[in-house]
Chains A and B, each alone.
Chain A
Amino acid sequence: MSDITPSQTVGPFFAYGLAPHSRCEWRPELGKDVYDWKETAGANLVTADASGSKIRIEGQILDGDGMPINDAMIEIWQADAQGRYAHPRDSRTRPNTKFMGFGRSATDKNGVFSFDTIKPGSVPGPNGEAQAPHIVFCIFSRGMLRQIYTRLYFADEPANDTDPILTLVPADRRGTLIAHKNVRGEPVVYRFDIRVQGENETVFFDI
């Protein structure tokens, strides 16, 4: 038994502290910025110095009854367009120093979240194999005593077929990790729904 501090649920009331300007439109008549508190990290990851394709990720998170989870907090972590992480462990040179690769979106009353970001590049993987472009998702909500991790992959990436992580997932469940392109103008939108439980349950990772 290690000595780490146990996880506890984020609960239903995190928004005013962690995501005050996000999609929590609890009282739409007041507008989005319901809470007068600065935002640490928001749902827009795009910085002026970030090269690559601007994309938007949209999705809905659903519970075991197929009901929207309207009080979830979704966090994403990703590499830049060249596949480099803004972190000391990734020692490669990174000219776009403002791009942090971290985003946070609270869901709205319909369980919908969204991020504006840059499509990540391919990232180094185990044993020198490249990983297909992907984004790590970390999900918190009331009713979750600990976070759950998943990954978003892009439907239009041939590298998915050989990705060292995706190929560990049973073939009939891989589809739950694939975001589909919805071309309806700029920026390109990738749709990524998350089903926490039940039929077509999203694959979550034991990491």
Chain B
Amino acid sequence: MTQVFPKESLSAFPKHLTPAYRSTVKRSPSKPLIFVPHTLSELTGPVYGHNAVQEGDNDLTKQHKGEPLGERIIVHGHVLDENKRPVPDTLVEIWQANACGRYVHNVDQHPAPLDPNFTGAGRTITDGKGYYRFITVKPGAYPWGNHHNAWRPNHIHFSVFGHSFLSRLVTQMYFPGDPLFPFDPIFNSVTDEKARQRMISSFDLDNTIPDWALCFRFDIVLRGREATPQDMDKH
């Protein structure tokens, strides 16, 4: 049993040490990572049933008494594996700033207002076709302390599980045409242009709901693939 999930796929990922993003300097391993074969421990991973998620968890605009301020949007797409096959029944969690660029988190001290009608956390399980859908508001850009006049492009954080613990992905979904892209060291930590584009959602007019909400599509491709009977035999 060797590398059941091809490691070359990871070339799309940022390097651990990316000095332009200052926090990586002291938080990246300095010694070489140890190459080891994939065992049952890596090729399995958390499986979430529907009991982890309640109805309505995917609508971030209905978690409080009133509607949050901001531009209501739909964010939807498919979770796929490396063979572009759907990843059904997998947990997708999101969190984000409110329309003013402020997170509920206590550490966020950006002097923009909190919205009493918006927490900014959601979750859902993909359906049998790997499809997910959230309703939320478009997050605002916000400043951060990385360098002088540093601002994060608008983004929604995504956490996805997939077929195994090696498929685990935490990423950020960006919005098309953001003027902050050239200046953001986190976005640009992905050095391949095509790979960067895969983090940007596309505007989806077909699924925009007239008089109600713009729609953005964000497909997520995870590392790995579903086990084949041959893989099973290896254990």
Contact = CB atoms under 8 A, between A and B. Distances in A.
Interface string B6-30: 1111111111101001011111111
Nearest to A3: B221
B222 interface: yes
Contacts of A198: 30
Given A6-B13, A14-B95, A26 B106 contact: yes
Interface in B220-235: 220-223, 227, 231-232, 235
Given A16-B95, A16-B121, A145-B18, A1 B166 contact: no
B151 to A, nearest CB: 14
Nearest to B108: A13
A93 interface: no
Contacts of A12: 105, 107-108
Interface string B178-215: 00000000110110101110110000000000000000
A34 interface: yes
A85 B9 contact: no
Interface string B36-70: 11111111111110001110010000000000000
A100 to B, nearest CB: 6
B11 A145 contact: no
Pick the most buried of B44, B104, B107, B157: most chain A CB atoms within 10 A of its CB.
Answer: B44
B189 A136 contact: no
A189 interface: no
A64 B227 CA distance: 38
Nearest to A14: B95
A77 B43 CA distance: 11
Pick the most buried of B28, B35, B38, B103: most chain A CB atoms within 10 A of its CB.
Answer: B28
B189 A145 contact: yes
Interface stretch (A46-54, A121-129, A154-162, A179-187): A121-129
B34 A89 contact: no
A127 B21 CA distance: 42
B140 interface: no
A171 B161 CA distance: 33
A206 B34 contact: yes
A85 B40 contact: yes
B148 interface: no
B82 interface: yes
A143 B21 contact: yes
A26 B107 contact: yes
Contact of B170 (A7, A86, A165, A201): A7
Nearest to A10: B170
Given A2-B82, A9-B21, 16 more contacts: A5-B198, A8-B157, A8-B171, A13-B103, A13-B105, A16-B120, A40-B52, A41-B46, A75-B168, A89-B227, A102-B46, A136-B165, A145-B186, A165-B37, A168-B36, A207-B36
9 contacts: A5-B199, A8-B171, A87-B164, A124-B39, A126-B39, A127-B1, A141-B27, A143-B26, A147-B170
7 smallest A-B Cβ distances: which pairs? A17-B95, A143-B23, A143-B27, A17-B121, A87-B44, A102-B46, A206-B33
Interface of A: 1-18, 20, 26-27, 34-38, 40-41, 63-65, 67, 69, 71, 75, 77, 79, 85-91, 100-102, 123-127, 131, 134, 136, 138, 140-149, 151, 164-165, 168-169, 173, 196-198, 201-207
Interface of B: 1, 3, 6-16, 18, 21, 23-48, 52-54, 57, 82, 84, 91, 93-95, 97, 103-108, 119-123, 157, 159, 164-166, 168-172, 186-187, 189-190, 192, 194-196, 198-199, 219-223, 227, 231-232, 235
